[in-house]
Structure 1
């Protein structure tokens, strides 16, 4: 049955990311036939993957096709009525698609769900979730509060206006996630590589800016982000090791 799960995932990935032209994505917002074309591709892929046992899998195919049609229809409706961050909408859309695949898998193999729950170390899962919350949500707030005492300086606002909106926050989150991954995988040298790479990319900005305050801002932000990220990462690794 695990093979069936993998086939459903492959069909989803091919249908959503390989065999869906960009023009369909745009046109299906106003022309419903392109939505049906897209869903039809998914149906064809599922039939192709389960061609050897269609009699035993037709219910799965019908459910997944119907679920895909419903999820994409809701997404199009939401896009047309409300202004929502496209990245957030994309993530929610993919989570729902994956959830439908996992749901049908566990529906037909309930023992797999029971075995999975029994094998998971929920203490470790909770620790990892806490670390992710700290790295993604808490640390940016800490850094923002730390820099609040310089918010009134003109140079601070001028430089922020010259950059992409929230780009620094996104970069910080990505680098801390990478630090977390490096530490958990035992690749501590990766942290040095990451710091060196960021320094190289930033070197041109700092040289051209010839602005002491901007240089100090970048240095403090980088060191603070890396320091807090490493603190969380090594703390998580230690806690996982003693469980």
Structure 2
């Protein structure tokens, strides 16, 4: 049996993969967007703003499931709290959201906001599922592109990532959305752990370029957390696509 789903972040990196999977499963979608958009087959759009708490009640009305993918550099905790409250008032039967591995370990604002968003979901009274994922290949590519523009490639000592393909995360989220509420499920990461400098060098090789490397040290509590691997989960479920495979598709 298919369900009516409200999707946030439906036009983002992850949402672009999630939407066709949900439609392929026969679900009708309502996508929350800050801008008005024309409807498509099986897809309608609701105009609203999660952080400003505008238009959420109307967007949630009638939805059986809510899949929350929207995120930003700040305010994710408050935006999620607004959505979760509206979902509870509307009687939504399952709220699914994406978070980040290390949300309760890495002492920087983005991770703290993600932890606050998790708590908002857990405490709202709607049956819930939370998936923590590693950094997406797409976001990793943005970071290493910026690094590669420098005349000398910085090599932050001890900073490692487990980049995961957004398509693998999308498939897992669609599976979870179609199932029963499961609380915190197993984390999802990529199949390999890389030093950040190795990821950047892989990008440079794919572009046929080279840069000299300069070791740097990430200072403070954040640096200690990354050197301790608090942003990693070596026991996480693993996606299938490697960084090298992603680069082969995206870089020429």
Q: TM-score, structure 2 length as denominator?
A: 0.29
Bigger fraction of residues in strand: 2
Name the structure where helix makes up a greater proportion of residues. Answer: 1
TM-score w.r.t. length of structure 1: 0.30
